[in-house]
Amino acid sequence: MIAITGSRRARELAHIIASRGGTCYLAPTVGIATRPDIGEEAEAFIREVVEQGADYAVFMTGPGVYSLISAAGSLGTKEKLLAALRKVTIVARSSKPKKALAEHGVETDIVPDDNTAEGIAKVLKGHDLSGKRIAVLWHGSYSPRLKEELEPAGAHVFESSTYAYSLDLAESGARILGEMGFDYVPPDRGKVLQLIEDLSRGRLDAITFTSPPSARNLFQIAEDHQVRESLQRSLNERVIVVAVGPPTRKALAEHGVHADVMPEVYKMGPMVKALEDYVSRPESPKRTATSPGPTAEANPRV
């Protein structure tokens, strides 16, 4: 049985797992909510892009693109923003913001192979950044890393974010995801607590994490209910831990958990294939009760 902690693409991931013979346990740990100060901050960010321009614009996430353009629409500056972005070198962290931008007629110039903040900084630092203006639209977890990397190279970096990750899927976040076409599964604290208990009782073979917040929120809930050490022990000793990419692996490491599996290509399909390869190896450190294809009844099941 394989646990899914993501929300936005939970059913898509469940379908991939099921197509390879696995059974899924849905317990999303992360939702999104628009920030209360979004109007003021977004307006300042949009105004700076429109009025002062930018040489590069970095978009970290699809929902951020949608919510920023929605905010521009509310301010009556949507077309001006899109026109300004069409003159800029666009960097999309992954295919999701690239697709969201394309739907508004904005083409992406760069999608880094390494989609971490460090990878994006490395790509940008391959250009002459002296005097360049770089706009960065973050996802729900802000990091100063890009600013710290790029400003010493001579760039002026201005940043914004339009939503925050949360332990619940607020109505505002549900609206954003709905507009993007995600068939999301909202987080539920009760299901997450049941997940933690089932992990401790050895009822799961593997658990997947598809974003840093999915890992951090799981541990936040465990901390709130005084079961953090039990969770950490279960993940390190009993369960195959799967991370979709380096940022997610790093978030797990922050909580003392080793990721057993991470794909070379940081996407869901390759992630599931990497898990399948792991459990098929006789020498795998962690063996599942149902290797190579977990088939136990899930609770809840997809």
Averaged over 67-72, what is the pLDDT? Answer: 85
Nearest residue to 25 via CA among 42, 49, 6, 39: 6
- 3-class SS string, 59-127: ECCHHHHHHHHHHHHHHCCHHHHHHHHCCCEEEECCHHHHHHHHCCCCCCCECCCCCCHHHHHHHHCCC
Task: Categorize the per-residue pLDDT at 55 as very low, low, confident or very high, splitting at 50, 70 and 90.
Answer: very high
DSSP reduced 3-state for 3: strand
Tokens (6 digits) for 291: 């290797």
* pLDDT given for residue 165 in this prediction: 64
Asked if residue 89 has pLDDT above 90, the reply is yes
What CA–CA distance (Å, rounded) separates 67 from 184? 17
- Alpha-helix residue ranges (DSSP H) falling in 153-255: 171-180, 189-200, 212-224, 228-237, 246-254
What CA–CA distance (Å, rounded) separates 101 from 136? 14
Averaged over 185-191, what is the pLDDT? Answer: 78
What end-to-end distance do the CA atoms of the chain give, in Å? Answer: 11
Beta partners for residue 56, in sequence order = 89, 134
Cβ-based neighbours of 92, under 8 Å, separated by 6 or more: 59, 98, 101, 108, 110, 111
Q: Which domains are delineated in the chain?
A: 2-30+187-280 (3.40.50.10090), 33-166 (3.40.50.10090)
Pairing of strands 206-209, 31-34: unpaired
Task: Categorize the per-residue pLDDT at 96 as very low, low, confident or very high, splitting at 50, 70 and 90.
Answer: confident
Give the residue with greater pLDDT, 144 vs 163.
144
Q: Which residues of 54-80 are buried (b: 16+ CB within 10 A; e: fewer)?
A: bbbbbbbbbbbbbbbbbbbeebebbeb
Residue type, 172: S
Beta partners for residue 89, in sequence order = 56
Tokens (6 digits) for 22: 């696995």
Nearest residue to 114 via CA among 125, 103, 129: 125
Beta partners for residue 34, in sequence order = 163
Whole-prediction pTM value?
A: 0.67
Tokens (6 digits) for 159: 């940043």
Instruction: State pLDDT tens for residues 4-40.
Output: 998 777 778 988 999 988 899 988 887 766 555 555 7
